[in-house]
Amino acid sequence: MTDGSVISGPIALSSAWDLPDQLNMAEWVCDRWARLDPAQPAILDASGPDLHKTSFAELRRMADGLAHHLTSLGLKPGDRIGVLRSQHAWTAAAHIAIWKLGAISIPLFTLFGPDALSMRLRDAGARAVVTDAVGAERLASMDLCPTVVPDKLDLDNAPFVPAGTGPNDPAVLIYTSGTTGPPKGALHGHRILCGHLPGVERSHDLMPRPGDRIWTPADWAWIGGLFDVLMPGLYHGLSVIAARLPKFTGAAAADVIARAAVRNVFFPPTALRRLRAEGTRIPDLRSVASGGEPLGTEMLDWGRTAFGLEINEFYGQTECNMTVSSCAALFPARPGFIGRAVPGFDVAVLDPDAAGEGDIAVRRGAASMMLGYWNNPQATTEKFKGDWMLTGDRGVIKDGFIRFVGRSDDVITSSGYRIGPAEVEDCLLTHPAVDSAGVIGKPDPDRTQIVCAFVVLRPGETPTEGLEQELKDHVKTRLAAHEYPREVHFVDDLPLTVTGKIMRKDLRKLALERLP
């Protein structure tokens, strides 16, 4: 640590990422296991009533056949190729095939509308999209680039030797969810998997352990599904469960976990809130990890009851993921803090104020750090301050633990106080009538800003003036008198990104344009 303001992993940065000169993720997540344990299930599809197994040997044959087909279409190293499929063995095979080719895969969410798809494919200059029959039909009317539906092709079964790529050669282009602006493409090299492994292992209490089998309801189109679950699971030779639920419910999640004998789950915060609202309890898991937004003390306490274990929080972003993590197997959780820096990462709070709050940043050189924003050198430059990548978040470091305060543009300044919206949201969630809450700062001529809360009530609860005052008093007495929401608005739902993060920019717009 440096003056108490930097968390450093126990391995020095200079040696933490001692990566080989030649590195292709396809070899690590597929080919080596196809040689070592070819019959081991790589993907177990639990979308239907029966489990469908795809072994590592089968996964390699699928990826090799698709790689040959892509080559026959004239695709070459460096080309950008979209992957528009949900959780399915062909999704994994598509990324692996593209990496074998030395090309760059673009994960695409199947629920994207035409504008979102068009924006990403045009910005990336994509030359093809690997998809299914439904996706091909959707894309046909957009006239963007050719589509490939591999499960309808007679593919060549000959082996395909992966390209001799290095750790810094581009491999995957992941677009941010755009909570604070239009999506930008974060370009990552083949080293991205190496950068995720230490944090995934810690957030799942020292994975892999005998019997581990991992699943997430998060789509594999997102960095959380693709590199927090799918690819690390395959790297460790585990069976990864494919089961993208049409609608997430506690009963549906519990059913998948029971039928597929899942032991390790990454639940995004929105999924955990749904489980809590439905009173779902899931025993017999070995680990539960969560990231994307801080959970808060109330949710962590609930998790101990619902799962019989400690939920391990982790922190990161598309540009540099899995930088901070809790790990109940190594150290006890600290209330209000999201964990310690993962080995190999230097995480700092820059320019801390008198209270120790500053800008959370990660030192250059981390393996999960992007190579840069695609075709946007200015945005790349603005993302860095000297040797540090700015996360855009505010936080505090104490005794090696980091506390997330909020996005830099989300922190509320009211009557001279700085207030993190996540803390107020967490307090509101402790009220029995509240299902979910989003908090913003609303401009005020006297206080600079006031705390403004948008609340979704639980089924059966009725919005009243009395309940509004009760929620204000609840925060005032349980949190702090200066942090209570002076405005409470009841809404049917909160605006969320497709990854489940609250879009506070939309709440601010709602507060300014539609409400008094």
407 or 449, which is more confident: 449
- φ, ψ (nearest 5 deg) of residue 144: -100, -50
pLDDT in the model for residue 13 = 29
Residues 6+ apart with CB under 8 A from 35: none
The better pLDDT of the pair 16, 193 is held by 193
- Name the nearest CA neighbour of 276 among 312, 247, 307: 307
pLDDT at 335 over 90: no
Does the pLDDT at position 15 exceed 80? no
Of the candidates 144, 89, 155, the residue with the CA atom closest to the CA atom of residue 116:
144
Once rounded to an integer, what is the mean pLDDT over residues 49-59?
A: 97
Average pLDDT over residues 430-447: 90
pLDDT at residue 178 in the model: 53
- What pLDDT does residue 514 have? 58
The pTM of this model reads: 0.84
Q: Which residue has the higher pLDDT, 29 or 141?
A: 29
Q: What pLDDT, on the 0 to 100 scale, is given for residue 6?
A: 32
pLDDT of residue 5: 32
Of 333 and 58, more confident: 58
Q: What is the rounded average pLDDT of the residues 114-138?
A: 94
Q: Are strands 417-419 and 384-385 parallel, antiparallel or unpaired?
A: unpaired
Structure confidence at residue 194 (pLDDT): 97
The 3-state DSSP composition of the chain as helix, strand, coil percent (nearest 5) reads: 30, 25, 40
Q: Does position 54 have pLDDT exceeding 70, yes or no?
A: yes
Residue 74 has pLDDT above 80, yes or no: yes
Which residues, at least 6 apart from 352, have a Cβ–Cβ distance to it below 8 Å? 5, 358, 396
Does residue 418 register a pLDDT over 80? Answer: no
Two tokens, residue 488: 């409470």
Which among 512, 457, 462, 460 has a CA at the least distance from the CA of 487?
512
- Residue 362: pLDDT above 60? yes
> 414 pLDDT exceeds 60?
yes
* 9 contact partners, CB below 8 Å, separation of at least 6: 16, 198, 341, 342, 343, 344, 345, 346
Quick one: which of 270, 277, 215, 225 has its CA closest to 251? 277
What are the pLDDT digits (tens) for 161-205?
999 999 999 999 999 865 455 789 999 999 999 999 999 999 999
Q: Which helix (H) or strand (E) holds 100?
A: helix 89-101
What pLDDT is recorded for position 378?
95
pLDDT reported for residue 32: 97
Residue type, 7: I
Residues 254-276 have a mean pLDDT of 94
- Beta strands, E only, 326-400: 340-341, 346-350, 357-363, 372-373, 384-385, 388-398
pLDDT band at residue 3 under the 50/70/90 scheme: very low
Mean pLDDT in residue range 143-148: 93
- Least reliable range by pLDDT among 84-88, 142-146, 224-228: 142-146
196 sits in which H/E element: helix 192-203
Q: What percentage of the chain carries pLDDT values higher than 70?
A: 95
Q: Is the pLDDT of residue 9 over 50?
A: no
Position 412 scores a pLDDT of: 87
For the cut 70, the answer to whether the pLDDT of residue 237 exceeds it is: yes
Residue 510 has pLDDT above 90, yes or no: no
Confidence (pLDDT) at 284: 93
- Residue 392 backbone zone (phi > 0: left; psi -120 to 50: alpha; other: beta): left
Which stretch of 60-64, 94-98, 371-375, 401-405 has the lowest confidence by average pLDDT?
Answer: 401-405
Look at residue 4 in the predicted model and tell me its pLDDT: 31
| Domains delineated in the chain | 410-513 (3.30.300.30)
Q: Is residue 444 very low, low, confident or very high in pLDDT (cuts 50, 70, 90)?
A: confident
Q: What is the mean pLDDT of the chain?
A: 91
Residue 96 near residue 120 (C-beta atoms within 8 A): no
Q: What's residue 177's pLDDT?
A: 65
pLDDT (mean) for 139-144:
90
* pLDDT score recorded for residue 415: 75
pLDDT band at 352 (very low <50, low <70, confident <90, very high): very high
Mean predicted confidence (pLDDT) in 218-229: 95
The CA–CA distances, whole Å, from 63 to 91, 150, 160, 489 equal 10, 10, 8, 51
**What mean pLDDT is predicted for residues 454-465?**
95
Does the pLDDT of residue 11 top 60, yes or no? no
- Distance (Å, rounded) from C-alpha 453 to C-alpha 175? 29
More confident residue, 16 or 426: 426
- The pLDDT value recorded for residue 252 is 96
